[in-house]
Amino acid sequence: MISQKNLELGTKSSVIREVFEYGLKRKAEIGEDKVFDYSLGNPNIPSPKKVNETLKKLIQESDPTELHGYSSGPGYVNVRKAVASYLNETYAVNESYSRIYMTCGAAASLTITLNALVCEGDEIIVLAPYFPEYKVFIEHTGAKVVEVMCDKETMQPDVAAICQAINEHTKGIILNSPNNPTGAVYSSMVLAELSSVLSEKELQYSHPIYVISDEPYRELVYESSVPYTAKIIKNTISCYSFSKSLSLPGERIGYICVCERCEDGDNIFSAICGAGRALGYVCAPVLFQKMIPEVLGATSSIDEYDKNRREIKRILDECGFKYIEPEGAFYIFIKSPTENARDFCEEAKNFELLLVRSDEFGCPGFVRIAYCVSNKMIKSSEEAWKKLAEKYRLTGERK
């Protein structure tokens, strides 16, 4: 007998992967340029030049055994110091390197943090729509997932609904802003409201309620700015990744910061070291750790994503599709013109448009598109979008 839970996880793929695999098959059948694959959040903009320059320099100039050797479990001290200084300079906070843990990207940051926090009987709140892996990560710790819907027009957190969902078992809440899948950026005002509700509830239940702030898109914002959650909500643990900001998703590098004002923060950091050890997530990839101090603050070209965002918005507007205004990350959440988003995705496939239905994001009735694709593909897909809109008799506005 083997673990049935893991067997099931390993055999059924996510809806995003399902659509992506279908796209690969379809491209082989009819040609790459005939399929408009909007399924995957895989950055298509190259990393900043500094990334490869630094890597080359490290490879050419370092002692090879030292270059590829183990670091300590939480990472190199100089790297953690550089991350803390960067956060302090950028967000005017006072983080300490002694509470920074280097990880293999956001997925590891989240799983380590959840494993460090969760005790038997705990509940973790997620805000729908949410990144589907949250459910996998939380359930694996034994905690119960409690879904709370965001405001369906703005996709900002519904603070009154969160307040209602909190009880004595609530250990934490995962926030993700800029958001996958909606592109919403949570406003300072909403975060401040949430902060006061959390403080009230902490008093009522006599224990902290931690905000696990999943921040892989922190720098990907277009016309606004992204409030730094830890500055507004005291019991925050930031889970960061360089996957998206530096277009390095395959290299697996990120960090956890147990923020300055986090209650019991030193013990939480020790529990994070323990969870990292138990999960085998020690000593994040060292070559990439060593690169980090040189590239902090650099990003792949956000202008390119913005160009895509404007292009796809224009097409959707002209076709008459309704969507949540995308302020950050590289996703647009489109309202399905029929009640069942699965049917809409199937219809879209007839025009070679590959969209992801929103059911697995905990919010039926929408589809997600990822616009981290080539601008050329977006332009070529315009006719397909128009034909899809005609099927639903949508009328748009020319701008």
| CB 10, min distance to ligand PLP, A | 18
**Both tokens assigned to 76:** 């190199």
Contacts of 4 (CB under 8 A, 6+ apart): none
Is the Cβ of residue 254 or residue 362 nearer to ligand PLP in the bound state? Answer: 254
In sequence order, the β-bridge partners of residue 354 are: 37
Q: Which stretch binds ligand PLP (CB under 6 A): 3-11, 26-34, 241-249, 264-272?
A: 241-249
Q: Which stretch binds ligand PLP (CB under 6 A): 100-108, 228-236, 262-270, 294-302?
A: 100-108
362 touches ligand PLP (CB under 6 A): no
d(CA 391, CA 369): 19
241 touches ligand PLP (CB under 6 A): yes
Residue from 156, 176, 235, 381 touching ligand PLP (CB under 6 A): that is: 176
State which of positions 101-140 bind ligand PLP (CB under 6 A): 105-107, 131
180 touches ligand PLP (CB under 6 A): yes
Is the Cβ of residue 243 or residue 289 nearer to ligand PLP in the bound state? Answer: 243
| CB 249, min distance to ligand PLP, A | 5
Is the Cβ of residue 201 or residue 357 nearer to ligand PLP in the bound state? Answer: 357
> Is 164 buried (19+), middle (13-18) or exposed (0-12) by CB count in 10 A?
exposed
| CB 357, min distance to ligand PLP, A | 17
| CB 272, min distance to ligand PLP, A | 16
Is the Cβ of residue 246 or residue 353 nearer to ligand PLP in the bound state? Answer: 246
Q: What is the 3-class SS of the chain, one letter each residue?
A: CCCHHHHHHHHCCCHHHHHHHHHHHHHHHHCHHHCEECCCCCCCCCCCHHHHHHHHHHHHHCCHHHHCCCCCCCCCHHHHHHHHHHHHHHHCCCCCHHHEEEECHHHHHHHHHHHHHCCCCCEEEEEECCCCHHHHHHHHHCCEEEEEECCCCCCCCCHHHHHHHCCCCEEEEEEECCCCCCCCCCCHHHHHHHHHHHHHHHHHHCCCCEEEEECCCCCCECCCCCCCHHHHCCCEEEEEECCCCCCCCCCCCEEEEECCCCCCHHHHHHHHHHHHHHHCCCCCCHHHHHHHHHHCCCCCCHHHHHHHHHHHHHHHHHHCCCECCCCECCEEEEECCCCCHHHHHHHHHCCCEECEECHHHCCCCEEEEECCCCHHHHHHCHHHHHHHHHHCCCCCCCC
What is the number of the residue whose Cβ is closest to ligand PLP? 105
Is the Cβ of residue 37 or residue 214 nearer to ligand PLP in the bound state? Answer: 214
- Reference 185, options 358, 308, 300, 328; nearest CA is 328
299 touches ligand PLP (CB under 6 A): no
| CB 148, min distance to ligand PLP, A | 16
State which of positions 184-223 bind ligand PLP (CB under 6 A): 214, 216
| CB 111, min distance to ligand PLP, A | 9
Residue from 111, 177, 243, 247 touching ligand PLP (CB under 6 A): that is: 243
41 touches ligand PLP (CB under 6 A): yes
323 touches ligand PLP (CB under 6 A): no
Is the Cβ of residue 105 or residue 362 nearer to ligand PLP in the bound state? Answer: 105
The residue count for binding ligand PLP (CB under 6 A) is: 13
- Is the CB of residue 256 less than 8 Å from the CB of residue 101? yes
| CB 245, min distance to ligand PLP, A | 10
Residue from 183, 249, 326, 337 touching ligand PLP (CB under 6 A): that is: 249
183 touches ligand PLP (CB under 6 A): no
User: Applying CB under 6 A, which residues contact ligand PLP?
Assistant: 41, 105-107, 131, 176, 180, 214, 216, 241, 243, 249, 254
